[in-house]
Amino acid sequence: MAGVPIDKRAGAPLQRLLKDAARDGVKIYGSNGYRSWGWQRSLYQSYVNRDGRAAADTFSARPGYSEHQTGFAFDAKAADGRCSLESCFAGTKSGQWLAKHAAAYGFVVRYTPQNSKVTGYEPEPWHLRYVGTWLTGYLNETKLPSLEQAFKMPAAPSY
């Protein structure tokens, strides 16, 4: 995706997703792909300074724990910029299209109201993680709301 670094294994599925969304009249842009440890540290620390550690831990990963550091995550934005990186993104045409179609391309909307107690994060309807179509199919078939549950991992990071 132009200007947003993402692992090449997720790149082709992401390009198909964006092309098909545009074909359906939904223009989606990406931001915040891969982040280095240093970038994540700076971002997280800015939230800690502003809101305190306990609050920051509900919406920002500590350095070394961010999905963005894997290169398989990106943040989606609507073309009009409405609700960018806000919970109201779920109600936008872009957010609704992604919630309905992302799995077909191997992406999951990672942090939802249904899994926030398990993930430890507030809902982020804009945050997508590439996991492949086999795993998205399994999640849909089993109705498991989180990767943690699919992999039988403990709930919420305790650092």
Q: Kindly list the structural domains of the chain, giving each domain's residue range(s) and its CATH number in brackets, ordered by start.
A: 8-34+71-150 (3.30.1380.10)
Q: Is the pLDDT of residue 62 over 80?
A: yes
Gap between the Cα atoms of 125 and 8, Å rounded: 23
Q: Is the pLDDT of residue 158 over 70?
A: no
* Model confidence pLDDT, tens digit, residues 65-111: 999 999 999 999 998 888 999 999 999 999 999 999 999 999 999 99
Please say if 122 is a catalytic residue: no
Which residue among the candidates 67, 124, 141, 148 is catalytic per the annotation?
124
CB 70 within 8 Å of CB 6: no
Q: What percent of the chain has pLDDT over 70?
A: 97
Gap between the Cα atoms of 87 and 125, Å rounded: 6
Residues 157, 121, 113, CA angle at the centre, nearest 5°? 130
Name the strand (E) or helix (H) holding 127.
Answer: strand 124-130
